[in-house]
């Protein structure tokens, strides 16, 4: 098997991520914030590629690489929304000869702020889309993880429009609508837009467990939800 096969088809990437959550539980590795999520996933990639891929030595797996400096991604200074695009890529997997490149943006929100976080999810999609639009990367994905209960539940469950008219919830809660076109920042005074053009993205939440490192056997594993979006 080759490394690119994990990324060239979404179903293969889905299996890779499903295997990651099993790997965490089997080895009792805890992820407790976004930083630990990012690094445990990167380490898992290295282990998995070494075990299964004949060309694993041809690839680098790196964190927080600057898209402009390292991969020559262009930021249009005259574009209102480009100034809000991210600059660093959470995880990039690329061939040393730069003939194959894959990127992943991660989210693991723990501090509520639901409409702001949801807009941040969409910003990640737009950032990953930009890398593909500029033909700097072959495939890009967004992976978001939330707790199933407590403060994680409102990310995927609840009213689709709030009592103050915020409708960004409709993309993430219940029978979700496709994310497409122009999305406006839902809160705060510094309003701006993210333009996804004609691209359409559907959020489909899946179930998983993560290791919880609790002394109480009943709470040894925490139930979570996650989604994967391939950005085109």
DSSP state at residue 176: P
Count Cβ atoms below 10 Å from residue 123 Cβ, excluding itself.
Answer: 20
Could you tell me if 198 and 191 are in contact, meaning their C-beta atoms sit under 8 angstroms apart? Answer: no
Token reading at 174 = 């219940």
Could you give the CA distance from residue 42 to residue 90 in angstroms, rounded to a whole number? 10
Could you give the CA distance from residue 216 to residue 60 in angstroms, rounded to a whole number? 39
Return the SS3 of 91.
Answer: strand
Could you tell me if 94 and 102 are in contact, meaning their C-beta atoms sit under 8 angstroms apart? Answer: yes
pLDDT digit string (tens) for the chain, length 232 residues: 999 999 999 999 999 999 999 999 999 999 999 999 999 999 999 999 999 999 999 999 999 999 999 999 987 654 545 556 789 999 999 999 999 999 999 999 998 889 999 999 999 999 999 999 999 999 999 999 999 998 999 999 987 776 556 789 999 998 889 999 999 998 888 888 888 999 999 999 999 999 987 777 788 889 999 999 999 8
In the chain, where the domains are located: 5-231
């Amino acid at each position: 098997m080759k490394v690119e096969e994990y990324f060239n088809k979404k179903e293969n990437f889905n299996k890779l991520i499903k295997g990651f959550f099993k790997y965490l539980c089997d080895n009792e590795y805890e992820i407790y914030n976004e930083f630990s999520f990012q690094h445990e996933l990167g380490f898992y990639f290295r282990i998995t590629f070494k075990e299964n891929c004949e060309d694993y030595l041809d690839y680098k797996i790196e964190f927080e690489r600057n898209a402009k400096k390292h991969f020559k991604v262009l930021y249009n200074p005259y574009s209102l929304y480009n100034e809000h695009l991210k600059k660093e890529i959470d995880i990039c997997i690329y061939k040393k000869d730069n003939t194959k490149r894959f990127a992943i943006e991660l989210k693991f929100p723990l501090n509520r702020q639901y409409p702001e976080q949801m807009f941040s999810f969409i910003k990640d999609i737009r950032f990953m889309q930009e890398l593909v639009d500029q033909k700097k990367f072959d495939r890009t994905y967004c992976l978001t993880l939330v707790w199933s209960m407590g403060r994680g539940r409102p990310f995927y469950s609840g009213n689709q429009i709030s009592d103050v008219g915020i409708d960004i919830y409709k993309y993430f809660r219940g029978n979700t609508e496709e994310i497409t076109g122009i999305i406006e920042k839902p809160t705060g005074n510094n309003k701006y837009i993210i333009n996804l053009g004609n691209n359409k993205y559907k959020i489909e939440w899946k179930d998983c467990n993560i290791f919880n490192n609790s002394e109480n056997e009943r709470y040894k594993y925490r139930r979570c939800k996650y989604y994967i979006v391939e950005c085109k």
